[in-house]
Amino acid sequence: MPNRHLSTVLCSVCLTVLATAGCAAHGDDKSSIDSTNSDSWNDNSHNRSGKITSSGTIKLTIPKHVTSAYLMPLDNPPANLKQAVLDSARKNLDSKSYEAIRKLIESGELSVREFSAKDAPLPPSGLLSASGCSKEQEAVIIGAQKYVLVLVESKPEWPPVGEIYTSMAASAFAHDHICLILDLRLLKVSAPSQPIKNVLPHNGQPRFTDCITLLASQSKSGEWYTTKGLDLYGLPELQLFDAPPYLSPNLTRIINGLAWKLVSLSTSRKKESNSDIFVLPSPIELTADDIDKACQEVSQAKGKVTIHLRLDKETTDTPDFLTIIVPPGEVASTGEYLNSVCKLLFGQTDGGVFLTTRTSEIEAAMAKARASLPEIRARFISGKLPKGAGLAVKFPHEYQGETEFLWAFVSEWEKPEMLNCHCANDSNLSPTYKLGQPLELKANLVADWMVQVNGKQTEGGFTNKVLQNK
């Protein structure tokens, strides 16, 4: 089950870490920070505010500056950190990048500082592993005696030029000094064997999906998504609750496309009006072109959909979220609504319905599937299915003397006797079951199971094999 507190920590604590590291004067300081001096913090999320207007639109105040930083464990840092960063940039990067980094340092926008183990702006325990950091990497980061921080304060803009060149400077420095890099904003850890030389590969711009992270976790009611990285543009993060697992590939594209739409709208309007106020249209039109621009590739998306957002204000210590919601007045569940959105953009998502009679072959296949349910459940709840895999189960629906078999994707199976799922089909016999509908399913009704990776069956599907051979 997702930990909402963990998400808000991911979205705010590490930004506070950045602000803590940057609250003193720029320079090659050996720093000791007074963490109680909160008035001087420049937390991206705290500088941003939002409210819902009387017309139903969302008014956001975009901060004038945003902060990002890279922390590197290095027990013997060079005496002159600025010069060391410049030397690495000159040695490893092209002349244009070197000049950009030099100007950022001279202007004071980019600062380089040394920290002791006691004062280093490290994330709270557990956040690194929760963000995908390996145990070995976490041990190196936490166990260091000294750290080097490369920090930039820049305007929220696209492309994020200051952030791009700062990441290149940190990468070149880490390459020369053989150390890990911890992105304190995205909580990503990397070990560059070669410095980043070309972060503008697509028509002189970075790929948007390389600049944000999409986090997903499972809950009883479905998958929960949150973006991480929109703070770099002064925006709240996006989130989506109760999503059917089988829609994951398409929902990932949709959320990335929507994130890109928000960034492009906010940055273009700021240039046009030179105002810190950004009023989100309500609702927002998302097109296939938005999705393609986010990934800088041609997807299978077609057409356009309308997306409704709600501003969810948190406490003063945590950031706001823009939550994707079912349109006001619509009675469909979240799963049904999301399925209709995916269908409009990507086409049919129904896995098919079988009307059948119970032959001896079908009964034998069901028995085989049911006998292996404890094993597949154990793998599911322990996270031992293949990466990116989903678990689906088949169950019978009887209506007026006929039986049809529907599929449902499992979101939670904590109790052996009960599964929480999302229906993967529309019923042909009655309106009882709808595609995307959340449902509780008794385990003794399960007739079959299968593991899917990228929409293709890789395991199970015992009754499917019988039906396909007929």
Separation between Cα atoms, residue 265 and residue 275, nearest integer Å: 13
- State which amino acid sits at residue 384: K
CA torsion sign for 249, 259, 126, 163 is: positive
- Paired residues of 30 in beta bridges: 114
Q: Which fold is adopted by the domain 354-468?
A: SH3 type barrels. (2.30.30)
Please report which confidence band the pLDDT of residue 131 belongs to, taking 50, 70 and 90 as the band edges: confident
- State which amino acid sits at residue 286: L
In the chain the first and final C-alpha atoms are separated, in Å, by: 41
Helix axes 95-107, 161-177, angle to 10 degrees: 110
Note the pLDDT tens digit of each residue in 14-64: 544 444 444 333 345 444 333 333 232 234 554 455 565 545 689 999 998
Domain layout of the chain by residue ranges: 4-190, 208-346, 354-468
State the pLDDT at residue 197: 59
| Choice among 159-168, 200-209, 217-226 with the minimum mean pLDDT | 200-209
The torsion defined by the Cα of 266, 268, 269 and 273, in degrees rounded to 10, comes to: 140
Note the pLDDT tens digit of each residue in 437-459: 999 999 999 999 999 887 788 99
Note the pLDDT tens digit of each residue in 317-327: 566 899 999 99
State the pLDDT at residue 252: 94
Residue 376, SS3 per DSSP:
helix
- Say whether the peptide bond before residue 159 is cis (omega within 30 degrees of 0): yes
Residue 315, SS3 per DSSP:
coil
Question: Strand pairing of 448-453 and 389-399?
Answer: antiparallel
List Cβ<8 Å contacts ≥24 apart for 196-200: 196/167, 196/168, 196/171, 196/172, 197/92, 197/93, 197/94, 197/97, 197/168, 199/164, 199/167, 199/168, 200/159, 200/164
Query: Quick one: how many helices (H) and strands (E) in the chain?
Result: 13, 22
Separation between Cα atoms, residue 15 and residue 25, nearest integer Å: 18
Asked if 73 and 140 touch (Cβ cutoff 8 Å), the reply is: yes
State the pLDDT at residue 385: 92
- Paired residues of 146 in beta bridges: 116
State the pLDDT at residue 426: 87
Asked if 322 and 239 touch (Cβ cutoff 8 Å), the reply is: yes
Note the pLDDT tens digit of each residue in 146-201: 999 999 999 999 989 899 999 999 999 999 999 999 999 888 899 887 766 555 55
Question: Which residues, in sequence order, are CB contacts of 448 under 8 Å at separation 6+?
Answer: 365, 366, 369, 393, 394, 405, 460, 461, 462, 463, 464
Separation between Cα atoms, residue 324 and residue 346, nearest integer Å: 18
Side-chain half-sphere exposure of 328, counting CA atoms within 13 A? 5
- State CA 440 to chain mean position distance: 27
Separation between Cα atoms, residue 30 and residue 383, nearest integer Å: 44
Mean pLDDT of the chain: 83
Closest CA to 300 of 424, 455, 459: 455
Side-chain half-sphere exposure of 116, counting CA atoms within 13 A? 6
